[in-house]
Amino acid sequence: MSEREVLELLRENARYSTADIARMTGLDESEVETTIEELEAAGVVRGYQAVVDWDKLEDERVRAEVELNVTLDRETGYADIAERLARFPQVKALRLVSGDYDFDMEVEGDSIREVSQFISEKVAPVPEITQTVTHYVMTSYKENGIELGDGDDDERLSVSP
């Protein structure tokens, strides 16, 4: 139970200090520390990242959602293809999905050119991959459960009954 509480808090903000998490959950600080260590050791917590609104930066950052269709043969399974693709640093997320296509892949690069090149030169040539459909991300409104943009103005009265 406390594991779950700690996980929820870390997902909300991985930078909460152990002291803050202890205050919010009523656990001891040392209990929080141990819980987090255990979750990390067990591979439940795989890392900590920032949620970035790239549109706010001058630098161009290009992202694409790529649909992949594959045909399997006797020697190759989904896991083999996934392993091969996941190694590329350009690939930020890779999921096997149900529906019209097999893999759902998120790719990031510095320019459209770079992303296109990566897909045509590194992904499409994989022999089992029969089709790729690339969707460039134009605007992102929500990432990792966090709404992007400036929608959080507090219009409440500063003092009210």
Partner 1 sequence: MTFELSERVQTVPPSGIRRFFEIAEERDDVISLGVGEPDFSTPWAARDAAITSLEQGKTSYTANRGMRELRESIADYVADRFELGYDPDEEIIVTAGASEAVDLAFRAFVDPGDTVAIAQPAYISYEPGVIFAGGEVLSVPTTEEDDFRLTVEGLEQAGADEADMLVLCYPNNPTGAIMTEADLEPIAEFAREHDLLVLSDEIYAELTYDGNEHVSIATLEGMRERTIVFNGFSKAHAMTGLRLGYALGPAEAINAMNKIHQYTMLSAPTTAQHAALEALDSCENDVEAMVNEYDRRRQFVLSRFREIGMDVFEAKGAFYCFPEVPEGFTAEEFAEGILREQGVAVVPGDVFGEGGSGHLRVSYATGLDDLREALARIEAFVEDHT
Residues binding partner 1 (CB under 8 A): 9, 13, 16, 20, 22-26, 154, 156-161
What are the angstrom distances between the C-alpha of 137 and each of 41, 55, 82, 156? 35, 11, 22, 34
- The smaller minimum CB distance to partner 1, of residues 98 and 160, is found at 160
Contact 133, 105 (CB under 8 A): no
Task: Report which secondary-structure segment, H or E, holds 142.
Answer: strand 142-143
Least separation in angstroms between residue 152's CB and partner 1 is 9
Question: Measured from the CB atom, is 12 or 38 closer to partner 1?
Answer: 12
Which CB, 16 or 88, lies closer to partner 1? 16
**Residue (121 or 155) nearer to partner 1, CB:** 155
Nearer to partner 1, 5 or 65 (CB): 5
User: Minimum distance from CB of 15 to partner 1 (Å)?
Assistant: 10
- Minimum Å distance from CB 151 to partner 1? 10
Q: Cβ of residue 139: shortest distance to partner 1, in angstroms?
A: 21
Q: What is the DSSP string of 83-134?
A: HHHHTSTTEEEEEE-SSSSSEEEEEEESSHHHHHHHIIIIITTSTTEEEEEE
Give how far the C-alpha of residue 120 lies from the chain's centroid of Cα atoms, to the nearest Å.
23
- Name the strand (E) or helix (H) holding 147: strand 146-147
Count of Cβ atoms closer than 10 Å to residue 112 Cβ: 13
Phi and psi at 57, nearest 5°, equal -95, 155
Least separation in angstroms between residue 27's CB and partner 1 is 10
